[in-house]
Amino acid sequence: MGKAQKLVGTGFLAVLLLSGSLLTGCTKRPAPEQLTQLQEACAAADKAEQTVTEKEAELVRVQAELAQKQRTLQEVNQEKASVESRLNQLRSEVQQSRAEMDRIERERVVPPPSPGTR
């Protein structure tokens, strides 16, 4: 039983005790107004208990949804780290390729122009 249900139960008990003190008058039977008040108090307590149950169920659903979204976030962050790692590796490979192309270009001997060509 959750805290809210205990609180509702305690409130219901207080209403019953108060109603009981009102019901114990000079007569053996409670007045119709007193019975109506008691029935209204019981109906209000039932409705409050139903609301507590509904809210607890909603809390469980929202907590499950949050857990799922946290798992999804963790997976996405792992994928992001993997993509960043691959991207950095590709950048490094591109830099190495450019350096190699520059080295080859510098080493390449350009033949002098032939006398008849311009």
Tens of pLDDT, residues 48-102: 999 999 999 999 999 999 999 999 999 999 999 999 999 999 999 999 999 999 9
Residue 23 has pLDDT above 60, yes or no: no
Reported confidence tier of residue 41, pLDDT bands at 50, 70, 90:
very high
Can you give the pLDDT at residue 55? 97
Of 44, 35, 39, 36, the C-alpha closest to 11 is: 44
> Which one-letter DSSP state was computed for residue 109?
P
Integer-rounded Cα radius of gyration of the chain:
41
The conformation of residue 116, written as its DSSP 8-state character, comes to: T
Residue 15 has pLDDT above 90, yes or no: no
110: pLDDT confidence band, cut at 50, 70 and 90? low
Q: Buried (b) or exposed (e) across 10-47, using 16+ Cβ within 10 A? A: eebeebeeebeeebeeeeeebeeeeeebbeebeeebee
| Structure-token pair, residue 113 | 């122009």
Helix axes 32-107 and 3-23, enclosed angle (nearest 10): 170
How high is the pLDDT of residue 117?
Answer: 62
